[in-house]
Amino acid sequence: MLDRLPVEIVERIVAKIPDTDLIAASKVDSVWWQEVRQEAYKRWKNYATTIGHVQALGKPFEKGNIDWISFEDVNDFYKRWIDRLTEDQLYIMEKMLRNGMVVDPQERETIEHALSEQRWGGDPWGLDWKWNEWTQQE
């Protein structure tokens, strides 16, 4: 029955599917596969954009005019937030790669590198979280 739905309905359904179940929906038929692929790319882009916005939110704390207690709280919060967004983004990217949804060789290489960095405990996007030099001094 799902393979007989109009594309507009499939788009709406796919948009509501959580990340963890998204790729499984691509198994219905080729229309669903295409819609899931488009939605996965959209979510990948949204995660990247959100990570950029979160990084921008941390810019005022680079100036050095902050209370240390506030800095520690904010730093921990932003680090956890970025880590979670990165995990979610990498999850989508890996599922896309494993299910043949990534055809561009450069995108494949980017995903493989990011996944390798994550597996080895690295920072896949090179965010490094050093707010500035004075925060790293003991």
- pLDDT 10s digit of each residue in the chain, 138 long? 667 888 899 899 999 999 999 999 999 888 989 999 999 999 999 999 998 888 777 666 655 656 655 666 777 777 888 889 989 999 999 999 999 999 999 999 999 998 888 877 766 665 554 544 444 444
Residues near 42 by Cβ (< 8 Å), separated by ≥ 6? none
Find, among 51, 59, 63, 138, the residue nearest to 93 by Cα: 51
